Chains A and B, each alone.
Chain A
């Protein structure tokens, strides 16, 4: 059973001198295989910072606290080591990489994460099946990664990578934002497919809309750089009706 444990995580951006600004102020969170957690919070609450800090983006500096995956110190790992250890971050804004085709990229990633190159034929079959299930035109395989993709196409490709890399814990950073309802359904089906399996899911979102399609086991309200309330799916319904207001105040007073 894979377990991602985050304990008292403090994270700053900036260079540590007077320019540094603390964004995460003591995050505690445990995600186990097969569980789906929703992290919900208003803009600027630090949700995305949490996602990037877990993935190891160089812009964010962990000042204290721990992150472990099955007891292994994630913070001591490089970005690629974290991915190979079983962490996955679906990005809010996937970058365009000119000249690197989707299939070449996927094959390199699959090879890195599985530790050996898949046979070309099997890989092609696997990729095609995964693309089919996300209603991605197979012609995308030969296109440059994310280049000229619409917002929805980029998000589908994030889920495609997720399905092929089969991580232990996946962090989805606002994967639902910018999607129309059809795309949201396709992406949600994808999330449900791996959430029902061995993967732990940390779904970061601003809106409750995706929670109509993806049922979280736990909901965490995130404001002011920490978790201020926790509950079951009913908490999402409350947020839908009442908004973040009372939690924002709570976050500020902490």
Chain B
């Protein structure tokens, strides 16, 4: 099949390791139009001040090796080619990378936790993380982001044949943090990948999780929970590219927003290419708007280039707390504030309870309670 017979996707952006291959975004581009570029501190145009630092602390499972390596390590950048200018900037600017390896057939007995802590947001820091799960190995990796930073990074997940990787990325930044990140997963034959993105803190957080399938039988589940407060911009841009037959993907991102200028962006791109027969995909985004003054942009895009799909669908819904829910709970004696908490907890909790690491799950629940405390009694 040549180019003339194969319809091409319009969703897949170009990819390059070279910053110069990407124009400086102006904010009019489809991929940048929701992002407040002025708040990126120059990360998108190469003017960010150098010298920032994000420290990486590791708590690895005994079966897993974690190394800090230099730029020339051959394992870096093999699964992922930067897909936008900030990503290319990060690729060209990091000095040290973290490589996590789960050896063939090893089953990690505990989560491997990478704690990334920023100390200062005034200068930019760049990072790179590569997680390699060799064939038939199984592991859970937690990326916990905290502190103040202006941080751009790329994360690669290479999931081998028959391997299983569960990733929880927790964006629990301080109020002044800016974080622009690409998280790319490449799945081997019958590989299984589960990702949770939990975004709570930071001034601007823009995470772009993407999935590519190298062989048939891959299965990706991408979950996200976010809670956006006044003035915060939390953006998640997903791309699932079905290029081979008989793979599955599920996307479910849910967020709550409260107070003036809380802005959530969710982009869900799914491509089912002509070759990807038997694809089974569904993506969902839901937003619960708790106060006036917030803004949600939710854009699902599904591009189907073959007639032979097992299932393909998407849904997006953003709305206020349902008065009928609140009335029902209140009619059983539960106060308005508690009823509101129960509905929000329930809405986000359906995803939170899927997080396999109890410690992280509890932490996320606590963080949601804190967010709800902030919003209590404000109406």
Contacts and interface: CB of A to CB of B under 8 A. Distances in A.
Interface string A83-100: 110001101001101111
Interface stretch (B56-64, B294-302, B338-346): B338-346
A96 to B, nearest CB: 9
Interface stretch (B104-112, B132-140, B328-336): B328-336
Contact of B333 (A57, A104, A144, A165): A165
Interface string B253-281: 00000000000000000000000000000
B324 interface: yes
B345 A99 contact: yes
B346 A109 contact: no
A219 to B, nearest CB: 26
A173 to B, nearest CB: 11
B324 to A, nearest CB: 5
A83 B332 CA distance: 6
Contacts of B343: 97, 100
Contacts of A57: 327
Interface residues of A, number: 28
A138 to B, nearest CB: 20
B350 interface: yes
Interface string A121-136: 0000000000000000
B282 interface: no
Interface size bucket, B side?
20 to 34
B325 A108 contact: no
A220 B339 CA distance: 35
Contact of A97 (B323, B328, B336): B328
B327 A79 contact: yes
Nearest to A90: B331
A100 B346 contact: yes
A105 B349 CA distance: 14
A91 B330 CA distance: 13
Contact of A89 (B331, B339, B342, B348): B331
A112 B350 contact: no
A109 B347 CA distance: 19
A97 B329 contact: yes
A82 to B, nearest CB: 8
Most buried by A among B343, B345, B346, B348: B346
A78 to B, nearest CB: 7
A53 interface: no
Contacts of B350: 98-99
Contacts of A188: none
Contact of A98 (B328, B335, B347): B347
Nearest to A85: B333
A109 B328 contact: no
Contacts of B338: 108, 112
B336 A78 contact: yes
B328 A91 contact: yes
Contact of B330 (A78, A94, A98, A104): A78
Interface string B125-167: 0000000000000000000000000000000000000000000
A112 B336 CA distance: 12
B80 to A, nearest CB: 34
A91 B339 CA distance: 17
Contact of B335 (A55, A94, A112): A112
A80 B328 contact: no
B334 A108 contact: yes
Nearest to A94: B328
Interface in A48-93: 55-58, 78-80, 82-84, 88-89, 91
A45 interface: no
Contact of A80 (B325, B335, B345, B348): B335
A99 B349 contact: yes
A108 B342 contact: yes
A112 B334 contact: yes
B176 to A, nearest CB: 32
Interface of B: 322-325, 327-336, 338-339, 342-343, 345-350
Interface of A: 55-58, 78-80, 82-84, 88-89, 91, 94-95, 97-100, 104-105, 108-109, 112-113, 144, 161, 165
7 residue pairs, one from A and one from B, having the closest CB atoms: A99-B346, A112-B333, A109-B332, A83-B333, A79-B330, A100-B346, A113-B333
9 contacts: A80-B331, A82-B331, A84-B333, A95-B328, A99-B346, A105-B329, A109-B332, A165-B332, A165-B333
Given A80-B333, A99-B350, 20 more contacts: A57-B327, A58-B327, A78-B336, A79-B327, A80-B330, A80-B331, A83-B330, A84-B333, A97-B325, A97-B342, A98-B347, A99-B347, A100-B329, A100-B342, A108-B334, A108-B342, A112-B333, A112-B334, A113-B332, A144-B346
